[in-house]
Amino acid sequence: MQTFRKLLIASCLFITFSTIAQEKSFQVKIIGKGNPILLFPGFSCTGDVWNETVKELSKTHECHIFTFAGFGNVPAIETPWLTTIKNDLENYVTRKKLKKPTIIGHSMGGSLALWLASENPNTYKELIIVDGLPSIGALMIPDFSPDKVSYDNPFAKQQLEMDETAFKQMATQMAAGMTKNEEKQPQIVSWMLQADRKTYVYGYIDLMKLDLRESIKNIKIPVTIMAAVSFYPKPQVEKLYTEQYQKLDKKKIIYVDNSAHFIMFDKTDWFVKEVRKLVVKR
């Protein structure tokens, strides 16, 4: 009997530890009640990127707002970073018994949404992708294949060795191109500076190696894609999105004029109304 009790206690401790460990790759804030919506931020951002959106959606939905490991105040995790996040997200949906959640994902968060839906066709209700692509690597590298992206490269080494002043200067330049909303640019810079440096460098390489252009053919649920049109001519943006999403059947691409990458910052009122319209009508 004593041995049985010890085994039972050990088993309970293992289950408890496993449950906690499942969430080490992200933290979640839950606001509101109703049908579940998962909100994934883009690379280096925290869940606060969705504040204006959640303020409206939480009136009618249960919003699960994620911040991923290495960003904000969430401790970094060991590699493989992006694969661990994807696997933990699947576990989270199962453990929380979420029925047909909608996913809203910005940039990297959109790529994660596509990855999850392509491997779990019956789990989700719909996807809303905010300026996200199935393959970021293909955007940057001609004739892209994941093996063309190496973790050991001069640019990664340079970023790892940057001092805070140089890194802040780089982040400031990048933020200026990511949103036209000048009031939001310092927030983006702050998120980048707060990020764990190794996660920032190697996590982005993880993202570049992800290529979902073929596997998105498995997605059968409705997918709405919002594509920013600002720094590149609209025909060029249309060509990019048409090619990358070629094998996705049930898609609607909305081209958002005069908006940079953070559509939720540049077109806040329009964005919130459009997202609400999408999640309420289904």
- pLDDT for the residue 5: 42
Whether 180 and 266 have beta carbons less than 8 Å apart is answered as yes
Q: Distance between CA atoms of 3 and 228, rounded to whole angstroms? A: 62
Decide if 19 is inside a domain: no
With a cut of 90, say whether residue 232 has pLDDT above it. Answer: no
pLDDT at 22: 61
In the structure, how many helices (H) and strands (E) does the chain have? 12, 7
Reduce the DSSP state of residue 217 to 3 states and report it: helix
Answer yes or no: is 105 within a domain: yes
User: pLDDT tens, 119-169?
Assistant: 998 999 999 999 999 999 999 898 999 999 999 999 999 999 999 999 999
Confidence of residue 280 (pLDDT cuts 50, 70, 90): confident
Burial 118-131 (b: 16+ CB within 10 A, else e): beeeebbbbbbbbb
Given a contact cutoff of 8 angstroms between Cβ atoms, the answer to whether 260 and 230 are in contact is yes
Percent of the chain beyond pLDDT 70?
Answer: 92
More confident of the two residues 16 and 74:
74
Q: Is 113 exposed, middle or buried (CB count within 10 Å of its CB: 0-12, 13-18, 19+)? A: buried
More confident call, 224 vs 5: 224
Sheet holding 223-229, edge to edge: 26-31, 61-68, 35-40, 102-106, 126-130, 223-229, 251-257
What distance separates the 2 farthest-apart alpha carbons in the chain? Answer: 74
Instruction: Please determine, for residue 210, whether its predicted confidence score (pLDDT) is greater than 80.
Output: yes
CATH code for the domain in which residue 45 is found: 3.40.50.1820
- Token pair belonging to 207: 């993202």
**DSSP, residue by residue, 161-177:** H--HHHHHHHHHHHHHH
Backbone φ, ψ for residue 243 (5° rounding): -70, -45
Average pLDDT of the chain, as a whole number: 92
Q: What is the pLDDT of residue 282?
A: 58
Per the listing, tokens 């004739």 go with 143
**175 contacts 192 by C-beta, under 8 angstroms:** yes
**Given this model, what pLDDT does residue 11 score?**
37
Indicate if the pLDDT at residue 3 is higher than 70: no
Dump pLDDT digits (tens) for 23-69: 799 999 999 999 999 999 999 999 999 999 999 999 999 999 999 99
Q: What is the pLDDT of residues 234-250, one digit of tens each?
A: 999 999 999 999 999 99
Q: Over 60: is that where the pLDDT of 91 sits?
A: yes
pTM of structure: 0.91
Please tell me whether residue 126 adopts helix, strand or coil conformation: strand
* Domain assignment present for 1: no
The count of structural domains within the chain is 1
Q: What is the mean pLDDT of residues 66-92?
A: 97
Please check whether residue 246 is in contact with residue 225, taking contact to mean a CB–CB distance below 8 angstroms: no
pLDDT of residue 231: 81
* pLDDT (average), residues 69-81: 96
Can you read off the two tokens belonging to residue 223?
């997918």
Rounded Cα distance between 48 and 29, Å, is 10
Which domain, by its residues, includes 99? 25-281
> What are the structure tokens assigned to 224, written together?
């709405």
CA distance 224 to 140: 23
pLDDT over threshold 60, residue 9: no
Residue 167 included in any domain: yes
Instruction: Give the pLDDT band (50/70/90) at residue 15.
Output: very low
Instruction: Please choose, from the candidates 180, 182, 187, 162, the residue with its C-alpha nearest in 3D space to the C-alpha of residue 50.
Output: 187
Q: Is the pLDDT of residue 6 over 80?
A: no
Instruction: List CB contacts of 46: < 8 A, sequence separation 6 or more.
Output: 67, 71, 72, 191
* In-domain check, residue 146: yes
- Asked whether residue 229 carries a pLDDT value surpassing 90, the answer given is yes
CB 112 within 8 A of CB 105: yes
Average pLDDT over residues 225-230: 97
For residue 16, being part of any structural domain is answered with no
